[in-house]
Structure 1
Amino acid sequence: MTAIQRLPERTPFNYADLTDYREGQITSLALIRSKGVNMTILAFDSEQLLPTHQTPGPALIQILDGTAYFTVGNEEVILPQGKSLLIPAGVPHSVIARERFKMLVTSILPLD
C-alpha cells in the first residue's frame, strides 16, 4: 500500500513550492512512503552537506530549484535546475549546497 502525503488533489502544483528553505538547515518533506518507493523533497540552504552514503536501491534525483553539486563515486556532477541524475544502488555519493537548492529524490527500495 502506498501513502501519498502532502500533495494537493485535483489541483496542479509545483514540487518546489511544497517546502521552504530554512537558514542553516536541510529540510525534508516525505511525499510517498511505500514498500518499494519513497519520494522526498529536500531543500538545502547554502553551505549544507549531505555526507557520503550509499542506498540499497537506485535513487533518481531531480533538481527543482538552484544547482546541486554531487560527488558520485569519485566523479563530481553538477546538476542545475531541471536536470536529473540516476544514482545506482550501492554507489557512494554525497551532495553539497554551494547555493540554495531543492531536489526531489525518488528511492527504489529492494523488495526482500
Structure 2
Amino acid sequence: MASVRVSKTIIKKTTGNVSMLAIDTGEALAEKISPFDTFIQVIEGQAEVVIDHHANFLKTGDGIIIPAHTSHHVKANERFKMISTVIKSGYEDLAI
C-alpha cells in the first residue's frame, strides 16, 4: 500500500492559520522550528510529537502546544489525522 500524507488549509489569515493533516503509518513531518506558537490536536489515531527531543504520545482527542522557536517534528506510529493551528497574533512587534 502506498504512503499517504494529505494536507488541507482550512483558513489562512495574517494572524494565523488552521490546517488539517492526515498521515499514514511510518510517515513523518520534517523537523522544523516555527517562529509562532502551534496547537496540534489529534482527531483520529495516534501520533508522536517530538518537542526539543522530548517525545509526546498523543491519541484521539489529545492536544499539545508547541512553543514558538522550538525544534519539533511529528511521526505517525499509526495512521492519524490532526488539526494544526498556528497563532501569529502577539508577535507583530517582534523583529523575526
Q: TM-score, with normalisation over the residues of structure 1?
A: 0.76
Question: 1:25-83, CA deviations, whole angstroms, 9 ceiling, x for partnerless residues?
Answer: 21101001000110000000111011210111100001000000111002100000000
| Gapped regions of structure 2 (runs ≥ 5) | none
Task: Tell me which residue corresponds to 1:31.
Answer: 10
Q: Does 1:61 align with 2:40?
A: yes
Task: List, as ranges, runs of 4+ consecutive aligned residues in structure 1 with deviation greater than 4 Å.
Answer: none
Give the percent of matched residue pairs that are identical in Structure 1 and Structure 2: 31
Task: Tell me which residue corresponds to 2:77.
Answer: 98
- Residues in 1 aligned to 2:44 and 2:76: alpha-carbon distance in whole angstroms: 12
Choose which of 59, 62, 65 in structure 2 pairs with 1:80: 59
Which structure has the higher relative contact order (CA within 8 Å, separation 6+)?
2
Question: 1:78-99, CA deviations, whole angstroms, 9 ceiling, x for partnerless residues?
Answer: 0000000001001000111111
